[in-house]
A and B are shown apart, each in its own frame.
Chain A
Amino acid sequence: MTNVLEINNLSGGYSQLQPVLHGLNFHVNESEIVGLIGLNGAGKSTTIKHILGLMEPISGSVQIKGKTLMQGPDHYRAEIAYIPETPVLYEELTLWEHLELTAMAYQIDDADFHKRVDPLLKEFHMENKTKWFPNQFSKGMRQKVMIMCAFLIQPSLFVVDEPFVGLDPLGIQSFLDLLIQVKNNGTGILLSTHILSTAERYCDRFVILHEGRILEIGTLEEIQQKMKMPNATLDEIYVKITRGV
């Protein structure tokens, strides 16, 4: 197995003079879902921004398939699909145009685009809403647009920031099913969330972030053993760890 995402000793933040992240080390393998867990303000979003290359490391590095952003700017970003916490859409574009734009930006050819787009629309029950504009969508539907655009890309790495809020139960299930499907096809997934029960069921490993530092990292069993809390749920472990700091 190779690492899709490799984070080495990453320190970073908005200001290079006041780091928010302190020496993070973790990776995401192919065919693996890694849960990024942390309180509000723990540094999850900042970590994600560093992975996307929206922010620059103060020290350390972020590599996608062995290359940093500036070593291969063309390939780096094409390998990542990102689903943001709050959906951000073009108010003047329809659902279909969002999908088309994504295909253009990621240089997906027409044949692939059409092959991928129909099953996605069907899965999220949006086939008859392709001509709708974002202001006609509910928050959950906006989220679905972002999700569909991300799945259209078929990248090496998925970065997903709190996807469950606002989605209806069917939407959540469809999303998780698709996630498993792309995972089995070899994609690595970094999933940031507060819904620990879901994370517990779907993630292979966990990175527990607190105040910009990694507190624990590993599979649930590994963390349970280390904390001497066998059979404890992720929720219980999480509360124990963060309260203990």
Chain B
Amino acid sequence: MDPKSLWKERANSYWMMAIRYLRYIGNSGFLFSVYVSFILGSYYYSILIQALPKNFPAVELMTIVLLFFVLKGSIRTFIKPPDSIFLLSAEQRLKPYFQRSLVYSFIVQSFVIVVIFLVLGPLYFSQITGDITIYLGSLLLVILLKGWNLLSIWEELRLPNNRFKQLSPFVRGTTSLFLLYTILDQRWLLTAGLLIAICVLYLVMYRKLANEHPLKWERLIDLESESLMFFYRIANMFVEVPSISRRVRERRWANFLIPILSGKRERVHAYMYTRAFIRSNDYLGIYFRLTLVGAVLVYFLSEGFLLWGFGVLFIYMTALQLTTLWPHFDAKVWVNLYPVSQGLQFYAFQQLLFRLLVIQTMIYTIVSYFNHYSLIQSLIVLVLGLLVVLIFVKIRLKKQLSKRFVLSK
């Protein structure tokens, strides 16, 4: 068994799967809204930067933002649950496999750091220094720090659950914090000192753990499945992911929504869909988040097309996301055995969507009124919103669903 080719095989099959989902995400109109928010964002960003006072704590802000990305991000090992049985005896021989995982994670996460650094670039140049060599040098140092963190995390993963295991993230976090600050504040002597210190720390503390502790396979498997789930959850917003294991939370506080959403005379499908919406996966969370972000925008945007457009855009986005609830019961045989006409399922789903989107439209309308205190503006938000809801639920919905799921007659 060649660990290198095993790794390649695993990484390839992951990316084959990922690309399939990424294509769905690309086709879903999501990219367009990213594009729009990117243009809008950079416009407001440049205004914001010009308006910043001279004594703005740019170094501190960048330190905190970068610290988050330097510390976050786990190691993608691509290992699978059966590995802890089948490959256990090959642990020592798998070194090249895990080295590849480390290099891979380093490259991916360095890319993230580069992007964050690019985004923070305008802030850096206007507030810290205009010298591009220092900017690039700092970027390089931050990437080095990312690498050190990954190496240390990898060894840290070997530790059994003890005090040292609890302490280690603190050590990494504090040293990273100080180092980031000295880099961004251009205190090069201190930076050099701290760089030497983290190298020593790695050699003295982390490196020798490999000889003292075996790999913690169960932990690696958990981490891997978390990373996978994270990806699936994102993909699941755009397309049904079959391998996503359904997580259920009671969310008792949201029970008051059930009668509002399912109506007085509950029918079986409405009964199921409302409860699934509230308790299963993250449907409720998606709905709340989109409603909240939309409401914030509607509260701040100036009157006119921008206000109306974003109201409509967020209602439409919410509608799209909610369609993923449709196949929730597809795998349950008994739903098809109920002595109820299949058409009622579509009707129930339509009704739930309608109610949710109307509630959202009303929220936007009310919030927009507190923005401008203009009845006309809010009325336009309301009418346009309701129009989108009606068109989507009554006309588009069937087509939208049949694009991705098999509709029963």
Contacts and interface: CB of A to CB of B under 8 A. Distances in A.
Interface string A55-79: 1101000000000011001100110
Contact of A88 (B81, B89, B90, B211): B81
Given A14-B161, A16-B160, A101 B86 contact: yes
Contact of B89 (A17, A78, A98): A78
The listed residue with most B CB atoms (<10 A of its CB), out of A49, A55, A105, is: A105
Interface residues of A, number: 32
B266 interface: no
Nearest to B80: A90
A54 B217 contact: yes
Contacts, number: 67
A17 B161 contact: yes
Contacts of B213: 56, 70
B91 interface: yes
Contacts of B1: 101, 104-105
B92 A73 contact: yes
B218 interface: yes
B87 interface: yes
Interface in B88-144: 88-92
Contacts of B211: 70
A92 interface: yes
B72 to A, nearest CB: 24
B162 interface: yes
A77 B82 contact: no
A17 B162 contact: yes
Contacts of B90: 104-106
Given A16-B161, A73-B214, A84 B91 contact: no
B17 to A, nearest CB: 11
Contacts of B160: 16, 55-56, 58
A102 B86 CA distance: 6
B161 A15 contact: yes
A52 interface: yes
B86 A16 contact: no
A159 B180 CA distance: 49
B250 interface: no
A206 interface: no
Given A16-B162, A17-B162, A92-B13, A53 B214 contact: yes
Interface string B56-93: 00000000000000000000000011101111111110
B82 A69 contact: no
A88 B85 contact: yes
A52 B216 CA distance: 11
B218 A54 contact: yes
Contacts of B88: 52-54, 77, 80, 82, 105
Interface in A98-136: 98, 101-102, 104-106
Given A70-B211, A105-B1, A105-B90, A82 B85 contact: yes
Residue of B1, B216, B218 with highest tally of chain A CB at under 10 A: B1
Contact of A89 (B13, B82, B89, B212): B82
Contacts of A141: none
Contacts of A92: 13
In this complex, the member of B13, B85, B160, B162 whose beta carbon has the largest number of chain A beta carbons within 10 angstroms is: B85
Interface string A140-165: 00000010010000000000000000
21 contacts: A14-B161, A15-B161, A16-B160, A17-B163, A49-B218, A53-B214, A54-B84, A54-B216, A54-B217, A58-B160, A73-B92, A78-B89, A88-B81, A90-B86, A101-B1, A101-B86, A105-B88, A105-B90, A106-B89, A146-B85, A149-B86
A-B complex: 3 closest residue pairs judged by Cβ atoms: A104-B1, A16-B162, A77-B89
Interface of A: 14-17, 49, 52-56, 58, 69-70, 73-74, 77-78, 80, 82, 84, 88-90, 92, 98, 101-102, 104-106, 146, 149
Given A55-B216, A70-B211, 7 more contacts: A15-B161, A16-B160, A58-B160, A88-B85, A101-B86, A105-B86, A105-B90
